[in-house]
Amino acid sequence: MVRTEERRIYMENRRKTDRYRERKKIYNSSRKERTKELSRINNQKIRENAFIILGGAFCKKCKLSDVRFLTVNHINGRKDKNETGHKLWRKIISGERDIDDLEVLCLNCNIIHEYTIGNRGGDNRSEIRQRRKIRALSKIGTLECKSCKTDDIRVLSINHINGHEIKVTERKCIGHRLYRAIDCYGIDVTNFEILCMNCNILYEYERGIRKFIE
């Protein structure tokens, strides 16, 4: 009788513990998502405020004003490789960073600027990669953005319609590894389409891969 009573108490306490653990798991999960959302909102506000300090939330060259693909460009080239993203935005807002050599550009204009000042291209390796990129994109379709029809090869990229599914060894097959895989190994290209950098980012926002708080 004593053992039966002990067993009953044990099972009752165990059920309480299991219910507690389940509630805690649900709470932690919702709290984690809420924390992510608050962090996303905060970073987005910091980014937009940095754009305003730099003259406004629009591309200085093409005048596009969709903040989803705007970025801070280093006019004379980036000297510090770590001076990007949140760190740079916070320095701009706090006044720690001189802003005379900074401007707001869209991703397309940013890449074109890097080619113009010599940060991209110009050497033999870059020329080989550029030719390989052209051959790879030609196997996917016409050398223009499927969405906005821009045909500047410098800003064209491959969009994974169904996400990054192809890997080389244990790494995602993206960038130059992907161009090489298409050009040299003839991998299936039915999951790919050609988009410029701006439209590629917009595609990720529209599909929920990236989140933007209105």
H/E stretch holding 160 reads strand 156-160
Q: Which residue did the predictor score with more confidence, 62 or 29? A: 62
Q: Choose the final residue of a domain: 117, 140, 162.
A: 117
Do 45 and 112 lie in a common domain?
A: yes
Q: What pLDDT score was predicted for residue 101?
A: 93
Nearest to 158 by CA among 129, 108, 196: 196
User: How far is the C-alpha of 47 from the C-alpha of 29, rounded, in Å?
Assistant: 27
Q: Is residue 100 part of a domain?
A: yes
Q: Choose the final residue of a domain: 84, 117, 150.
A: 117
Confidence of residue 173 (pLDDT cuts 50, 70, 90): low
User: How far is the C-alpha of 207 from the C-alpha of 36, rounded, in Å?
Assistant: 18
Question: What Cα–Cα distance (Å) separates residue 23 from each residue in 20, 103, 168, 178, 204?
Answer: 5, 49, 41, 44, 33
- Here the tokens at position 145 are 């953005």
177-197 residue pLDDT tens? 888 888 888 788 888 999 999
Q: Choose the final residue of a domain: 90, 117, 144.
A: 117
Instruction: Classify residue 168 by its DSSP letter.
Output: E
- Here the tokens at position 171 are 């790494």
Range(s) of the domain holding residue 73: 40-117
User: How far is the C-alpha of 13 from the C-alpha of 176, rounded, in Å?
Assistant: 58
Nearest to 120 by CA among 167, 73, 166: 73
H/E stretch holding 73 reads strand 70-74
Per the structure, how many domains does the chain have?
Answer: 2
90-115 residue pLDDT tens? 999 999 989 999 999 999 999 999 99
